[in-house]
Structure 1
Amino acid sequence: MIDELARAERAVATCTEAAAWALSEHDLIAALDATHRLQQRLAAVRLAVVREVDGRGVAVAQGASSTVVWLRDRLRLDMSAARRLVGLAASVDAAPAAVRDALAGGTVSVEQARVIADTAATVSASAGAEVADKAVGVLVGWAGQFEPTLLRRMGTRILDHVAPDLADAAASAALAAEAARATRDRHVTISEQTDGRLRLSGTLDAEAAALLRAVIDPLSAPADPDDTRFAGQRRHDALADVCRLALRTGELPENGGDPAQLVVTAGYDGLTRQLGAGALDTGLRLTPDTVRQLACDAAILPAVLGGAGLPLDVGRQRRLITGPLRRALVLRDGGCAFPGCDRPPRWCAAHHIRHWADGGPTSLDNAVLLCGHHHRHIHHSDWAVRLGGDGHPEFVPPAWLDPARVPRRNHYHSRT
């Protein structure tokens, strides 16, 4: 395959040196048709390779968090193009062989192949594989006349052409069953576990599902090439970000609108050392790392206990980075300041460069905006953050990632 692709590349290179202006009108159109067929055939080869790369886990083995992220960096694609490529490879791979043959033969385009594959899957689920094969044959024929959008629209009524006796009944039954099932099965279950965690499960109807996906999908995309979270962890963190945003609105009923109050308990001697473990008023114990992270942008109510566990002093609540200071931080950073992150300010917490627990001041010179993922990352990794000579944040990567430890900056947000 490598040798043949190299030969094809040389042939294409020869064509690029030829003068298109010298071609007759007939030959010019023939050249256009030929390049289009070749492009589709190459697309078929690329999809097969991408599917194999994804199936083998090549991207993860090379240190990437997913095939999509790996393709973005390897082929210099944007995330949407890389995600679409992986999805199309899977869709075509699962489609009937006729779809792959049509793409490999250059008779359908990549987008037409996706439409045909999607339609075949729908028909197979409702009318069986035999009817789906007939539908593919019809759609491949139509692909010679209709572009992808119109082809998809026509595919919604493909049963009228390949199985008219099933079309109306199948469509009506499918809609009715789907509506009844969604109404009956909608629920969310929250089960509290002994360690303070919650198990969340349920089934959403179509409307709620669309709302959730509209919010969760962009927030749960891999944040950067170094994002090692698997998909479930990213969705978990996105849900937590949504809850934080809802709390910040101040519009929740009853006790909503304020971040959870964290009561940090410590022995008197512990106050002279680093901040230790903490406990919420629900009784849940928190690790020192979690306490330090929450202390960046939360309401802290210190309580000092005597030797017998009796309260000696309970301090007043103190909001750390809010109001004019947070607004100044937003103006400076524009969003999450971690390199490569495009999260807007409303999804970000204010992080103390020198931790508040270590005596770091609450000031613009000691703060940086970080999204939920990168806030956790900074607290649990070897990355370092500091302000550059121009007063903007820069991040120093760990030595294992960059032996020279050259500082990096975020270029997604506008700077003044």
Structure 2
Amino acid sequence: MLRDGSEGTRRSDDASARGADASHPNTERSAAVTHASPTGDQRASDGLATPHPSGPLSLIRLSAAALAGLKRDELLSVLSDIERLTNRLAGYRAEVLGALEVLNESGVAPDASPHLSLRDAAGVSERDARRMLRAAEKTREHETVLEALSDGDINAAQAETLCDARVPEPVRAKLVAAAAGEDTDATRRRVQRAETEHSVETPIERFERQRAARGAGWRRDHEGMLRLWAKFDPDTGAHVEAALEALCREYWIDDKQVRNGRRTPAQRDADVLAYALAGLTYTDADAAAVRRLHARASARSDNLPDKAHDPSRQLPPAQISVLIGLDALRGQTDEMGLTDAGVELPPEVVRRMACDAEIIPIILGTPGGSADAGRSRRTVSLWLRRLLVARDRHCRWPGCHEPPSRCDAHHVWHWIDGGPTNLDNLVLLCHRHHHFLHQHGHKMIPQPDGTWTTIQEPEAGPTPTPRRAKRQARAP
């Protein structure tokens, strides 16, 4: 259980007494994480800062037998305590590293390689030591972020996101306050919205900064496995991701037919990279998937005399859909474009991309064609899927934000039960939630505010006709 000097015991006194009681079954194995701060007078005489108001930290470790006797809510509460303590320790570490930096800069204890000293003291890798130093430095630059982290209200990932946010400081303070009650993904989405509304840089300035921050690398781990990492600007990243996702989807189509021994998503992504970088396929099914992908690319090139397909490329260029307002495309506003992978692009970049035959602009604010295939076909056409992506933008399962490139078009009123294939009867669901919905008999229900909820379908009885969602603007 987590306790600190200012908040007191977060559990009941009875639970705390059980944890500290020598007769507790975990007594011989229990371990307490504590932080004994010097008194104010001692710290003042040593020239150190005043102790953090949160005071000492304490976490009582329960034995496996004790944990087995807890209910689900109690176990989740214990996890919450662990994470809160972890967050506070991250804030404490940032302050300790700051004190070391002061000694280094003052010349009292010069250190030519602080990251190596941290590596030796903490037992982490040199790479992780550099990352920890950078994160601590950024956190100390923003007092409100450091305070929230040291109080355990936010985690280290949230702290880094809030530090990187390019917004005025008053806006950052509000973001920090809001982050205390949400998860990391929600904080990142909130920061993204705030940057759009309060950004201190123009869209093209942001793009140029992102372009300058590109990088990649690879290394071998202790088992000889090759590890890759890469970071691209949104424009380049959109092309790379679209090409990789096109082959990944072909592999997924084949994998869905496999009952036992199906590869994991991570293994499938690794096989996609193996082909993209080295032209390697490990099964006949994967080789056939590659041939299908190249055949479609060749068919597109046959209809585009100004853009012939290059057969020497491992992966053919994939089509990218970009959602953008008509005024932005004309250069009248700075509204960002949105790719089908959920990536924002400045309108200047979208206008340049629109000259590429592989770029499909989906323009809002203009009259559009039909978005209704009725009962004539079960599968969703490419055109209808683009309209669906323009409307939903990500997986619509409550709380999920997987990008459209990893989503399926799901019939709300099942096609086999008479449901039509039109925009109002479709919703984007990621592969995981689409499978979960069908496996466990859930149903997607649209809400008036544009969100969706799920219900458990009854075992028998007719399926009700879904309520028609608000009609969206159509692309030309």
TM-score normalised by structure 2 residue count: 0.31
Bigger helix share: 1
TM-score normalised by structure 1 residue count: 0.34
